[in-house]
């Protein structure tokens, strides 16, 4: 496929994610849109399984018209993306992490928007969580000011190559994550519009130990925000009043939520205290103590007593259900 005809370049950096990389690649290969190339960048993986996977990929795609496998020393995801994009030929770029997936119609819908709207530089979709957590991940319509507060654009958005060139690529200094957030701020500063697609077109894998979770640590989060503000001083200074007021509202809402939780916990503690002070609870404790003294822990009698006790509980539940049905039938 010549450089003149490649429409979308999909760039997949991978560092020790051999267990997921084939899923990501397969989601691209299953795309309805076929005018693409896929560049998978092995970012200095070290675990045995991932290295074996890449050996297999090298054998499977030695001279594939759409798929290229490249290797580099470990430099971080930003540098890996930059390397892959530098080797790519597409008019539009889609960065895809090795543990995520895209929907079959994502590429054609994004490319159509970019082809028909020359003022739009970035097309981003709604998403879905999968893995350790499942559910919808919906984004609001694009708001330039909101982007200064939150990373409100999904990492796997499709954008024009000239944005990457004008922004000097992803910042390799941001090793802990959110290099895509900084990239979107740079694109916004240069005047490009962002377009939100309808429907979920991107699947984000939820798993513990991801890079972005490292930025949830307070000192890392503080360093991230300071870095963004220093690198984009002009736009943050111009919107300082908005940023401070929105953060103040957010802090106030967090305090209200904390007070609500504290009140709920206090009510539960009061309920538990009433239970512990009740005659029934004290009688139950006495019965348990007598049982422990009379019946040895591992004896057959102990197991039999436990079985009888459970049977009595189930029988009590059945009697409650029958009694409730009798009262309901009489009420009719």
Does position 184 have pLDDT exceeding 50, yes or no?
A: yes
Between residues 152 and 251, which one has the greater pLDDT? 152
- Least confident range from 102-116, 203-217, 221-235: namely 203-217
CB neighbour list of residue 178: distance below 8 Å, 6 or more residues apart: 151, 212, 215, 224
Other Cβ atoms closer than 10 A to 107: 24
Cα distance between residue 281 and residue 304, in whole Å: 23
Residue 246 is predicted with a pLDDT of: 74
With a pLDDT cut of 90, the percent of the chain lying above it is: 60
Cα distance between residue 180 and residue 43, in whole Å: 17
User: Which segments within 28-66 are labelled E, that is strand?
Assistant: 36-43
Average pLDDT over every residue of 290-310: 63
Average pLDDT over every residue of 128-156: 93
Cα distance between residue 145 and residue 211, in whole Å: 25
Between residues 123 and 243, which one has the greater pLDDT? 123
Residue-wise over 211-246: b if at least 16 C-beta within 10 A, else e? beeebeeeeeeeebeebbeeebeebbeeeeeebeeb
Question: Which position has the token pair 């890996």?
Answer: 80
Structure tokens at 323: 């009694």
Cα distance between residue 291 and residue 259, in whole Å: 43
Domain 8-238: state its class. Answer: alpha beta
9: left (phi over 0), alpha (psi -120 to 50) or beta: beta
Local confidence band at 264 (pLDDT 50, 70, 90 cut-offs): confident
Q: Note whether 93 and 14 are within 8 A (CB).
A: no
Q: Helices 18-29 and 48-60, interaxial angle, to 10°?
A: 30
Residue 1 is predicted with a pLDDT of: 46
User: At 261, phi and psi to the nearest 5?
Assistant: -65, -40
Average per-residue pLDDT in the chain?
86
User: At 177, phi and psi to the nearest 5?
Assistant: 125, 175
Residue 290 is predicted with a pLDDT of: 67
What kind and span of H or E run contains 131? Answer: strand 120-131
Other Cβ atoms closer than 10 A to 50: 20
Residue 320 is predicted with a pLDDT of: 58
Residue 332 is predicted with a pLDDT of: 47
Residue 260 is predicted with a pLDDT of: 76
Q: Helices 240-277 and 279-294, interaxial angle, to 10°?
A: 70
- Least confident range from 45-59, 65-79, 132-146, 306-320: namely 306-320
Q: Note whether 18 and 45 are within 8 A (CB).
A: yes
Average pLDDT over every residue of 198-213: 82
């Amino acid at each position: 496929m010549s450089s003149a005809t490649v429409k979308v370049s999909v760039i997949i950096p991978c560092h020790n994610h051999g267990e997921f990389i084939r899923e990501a690649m397969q989601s691209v290969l299953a795309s309805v849109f076929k005018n693409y190339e896929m560049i998978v960048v092995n970012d200095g993986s070290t675990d045995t399984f991932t290295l074996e996977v890449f050996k297999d990929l090298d054998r499977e795609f030695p001279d594939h018209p759409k798929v290229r496998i490249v290797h580099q020393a470990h430099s971080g995801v930003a540098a890996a993306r930059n390397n892959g994009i530098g080797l790519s030929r597409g008019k539009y770029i889609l960065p895809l992490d090795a543990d995520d997936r895209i929907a079959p119609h994502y590429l054609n819908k994004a490319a159509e928007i970019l082809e028909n709207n020359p003022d739009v530089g970035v097309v981003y979709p709604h998403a879905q969580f999968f893995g350790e957590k499942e559910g919808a991940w919906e984004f609001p319509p694009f708001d330039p000011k909101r982007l200064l507060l939150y990373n409100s654009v999904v990492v796997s958005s499709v954008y024009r190559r000239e944005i990457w060139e004008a922004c000097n690529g992803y910042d390799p200094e941001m090793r802990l994550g959110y290099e895509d957030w900084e990239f979107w701020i740079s694109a916004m500063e240069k005047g490009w519009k962002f377009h939100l697609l309808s429907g979920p077109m991107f699947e984000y894998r939820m798993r513990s130990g991801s890079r972005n979770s490292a930025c949830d640590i307070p000192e890392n989060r503080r360093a991230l925000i300071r870095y963004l503000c220093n690198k984009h001083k002009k736009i943050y200074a111009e919107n300082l009043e908005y940023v401070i007021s929105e953060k103040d509202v957010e802090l106030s809402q967090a305090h209200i939520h904390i007070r609500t939780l504290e009140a709920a916990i206090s009510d539960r503690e009061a309920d538990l205290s009433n239970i512990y002070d009740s005659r029934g609870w004290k009688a139950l404790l006495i019965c348990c103590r007598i049982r422990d003294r009379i019946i040895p822990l591992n004896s057959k009698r102990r197991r039999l007593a436990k079985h009888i006790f459970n049977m009595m509980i189930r029988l009590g539940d059945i009697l409650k259900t029958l009694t409730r049905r009798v009262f309901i039938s009489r009420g009719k």
